[in-house]
Copies of this chain bind each other. A is one copy, B any other.
């Protein structure tokens, strides 16, 4: 079940955040939309409800909601760029969130899941994005 506006407001209040008309407008847009929206797209929709709201407020609200896990932040195919020499084979990355070290792995085994999803949704799946995040051995030691 998707979180309702009411539930989100409740969590915000419990976490000590104020419920402003701006935040309500942003919540209304997000909870009523099926698609993923960029901050500017959210602003555009919010302005129908609450003209004059600033993009800054959208950014700030999204950050709060995101930190509380109340909205989900998605990685768009374009937009975040970091590059590395390519392996010839299909592969993915395991990245250390502490030091940035990257390990590659080639056996992603997503075929079965992909088939299941394809059958369930009717999508013709063309590619996938997979990435693991964690802490490498050294960085684990460093903390201990």
Chain B proximity mask over A68-85: 1 for CB below 8 Å, otherwise 0:
011111111111111111
Protomer copies? 2
Please give, as numbers and ranges, the residues of chain B lying within 8 Å of A102 by CB-CB distance.
34-36
Q: A102-B34, A117-B132, A126-B97 are in contact. Are A74 and B84 (CB under 8 A)?
A: yes
Decide if A129 touches B131 in the complex (CB within 8 Å): yes
- Cα distance A41–B77 in the bound complex, in angstroms: 21
Q: A117-B132, A132-B114, A133-B129 are in contact. Are A96 and B123 (CB under 8 A)?
A: yes
Chain B proximity mask over A13-26: 1 for CB below 8 Å, otherwise 0:
00000000000000
Q: A94-B123, A109-B113, A124-B140 are in contact. Are A85 and B31 (CB under 8 A)?
A: yes
- Cα distance A35–B84 in the bound complex, in angstroms: 7
